[in-house]
């Protein structure tokens, strides 16, 4: 199975080309959690899909959300700000902050044992 690869060009054109994928179990993990941005736990936290400069690299299209792994656990208010590019003073800052929220969400889930990483060891031909 081939993994994702970053297609490099100049620094503003690097892209990943991730296909949009729905993972309902992953989305349901947002329910009842604290917002990773403001810490509120008022019952409105959802998996907010990435909206940023490179969202099309992560599967976003017209009327199509990016891959479900590209979502941050945000409350209603923070989600509205994220969708309106309100996380930064410019598009680059908004994108960086949103990606940081996604990484924080994924790390929280990993630390809690809610998601895991599968590692494969590749041996040289002469090792077993």
Q: Is residue 7 part of a domain?
A: no
Residue 34 scores a pLDDT above 50 = yes
Domain range for 39? 24-111
Task: Count up the domains in the chain and report the number.
Answer: 1
What's the whole-number average pLDDT of the chain?
82
Which structure tokens are listed for 76?
């209603």
- pTM over 0.85? The answer is no
For residue 89, being part of any structural domain is answered with yes
Higher pLDDT, 61 or 109: 109
* Across 103-127, average pLDDT: 75
Q: Single out the residue of 75, 47, 46, 70 nearest to residue 60, CA to CA.
A: 70
128 within domain boundaries: no
What is the per-residue pLDDT for 128? 43
- Return the higher-pLDDT residue of 63 and 25: 25
Indicate whether 126 pLDDT > 50.
Answer: no
pLDDT value of residue 98: 94
Structure confidence at residue 88 (pLDDT): 82
71 is a domain residue: yes
């Amino acid at each position: 199975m081939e993994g994702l690869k970053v297609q490099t060009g100049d620094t503003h054109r690097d892209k990943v080309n991730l296909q949009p994928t729905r993972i309902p179990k992953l989305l349901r993990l947002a329910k009842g959690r604290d917002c990773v941005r403001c810490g509120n736990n008022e019952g409105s936290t959802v998996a907010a899909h990435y909206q940023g400069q490179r969202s099309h690299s992560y599967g976003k299209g017209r009327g199509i959300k990016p891959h479900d792994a590209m979502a941050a656990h945000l409350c209603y208010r923070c989600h509205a700000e994220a969708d309106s590019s309100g996380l930064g003073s410019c598009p680059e800052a908004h994108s960086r902050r949103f990606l940081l929220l996604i990484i924080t969400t994924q790390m929280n889930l990993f630390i809690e044992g809610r998601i895991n990483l599968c590692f494969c060891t590749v041996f040289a031909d002469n090792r077993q």
